[in-house]
Amino acid sequence: MFGIPEAVRAVSNLATTIIDKKFPNATEVEKVKLAALAAEMQNEFNLALGQIEINKIEASNPSVFVSGWRPAVGWVCVIGLLYSFLLQPILAWASTIVGVNAPPILESGVIIGLVTTLLGTGVMRSYDKAQGVDTKGVSLK
């Protein structure tokens, strides 16, 4: 898959090749390469900042399904657990009365593992808040 990081690297490699041919002096080449590397790093940093802004916009959305991936994963877990522990047994019971095949049984261990992970992350965040750790933003120290 050819994404943005690969495109940045390809442009950087092209710039390095052009620089090597244009500047025969080794110190000049190193200075220009350093400037190109600094520009590449700045571009990657700007891409990361742009993604952070997109994440902030998505997180501020009032919709449950847009405000982040964690709510969506939570809803998937809720639906999976609802089916596994409530709907499937009722449908299996009803299907035996009606005389049709029972609905499939889901592997609920994976869902429970995911729910446990999400709940553990929530507990860790609550602990951080209780300790006064500010994690509202990302600091670049």
User: Residues 49-81: pLDDT tens digits?
Assistant: 888 887 777 677 666 555 666 677 788 888 999
Q: How many CA atoms lie within 13 A of 87 on its CB side?
A: 11
Q: Where are the domains of the chain?
A: 1-60, 62-136
Helix axes 69-82, 108-130, angle to 10 degrees: 140
C-beta neighbour count of 94 within 10 angstroms: 12
Query: What is the predicted pLDDT for the residue at 115?
Result: 86
Structure tokens at 74: 């939570």
pLDDT by residue (tens digit) across 73-119? Answer: 788 888 999 999 999 999 999 999 999 999 999 888 888 888 888 88
What is the reported pLDDT for 68? 61
More confident residue, 76 or 122: 76
pLDDT, residue 88, reads: 94
pLDDT at 17 > cutoff 90 = no
* pLDDT at 141 > cutoff 60: no
Whole-model pTM?
0.44
The string of DSSP letters for the chain reads: ---HHHHHHHHHHHHHHHHHHH--SHHHHHHHHHHHHHHHHHHHHHHHHHHHHHHHHHHH-SSTTTS-HHHHHHHHHHHHHHIIIIIHHHHHHHHHHHTSPPPPPP-HHHHHHHHHHHHHHHHHHHHHHHTT---SS----
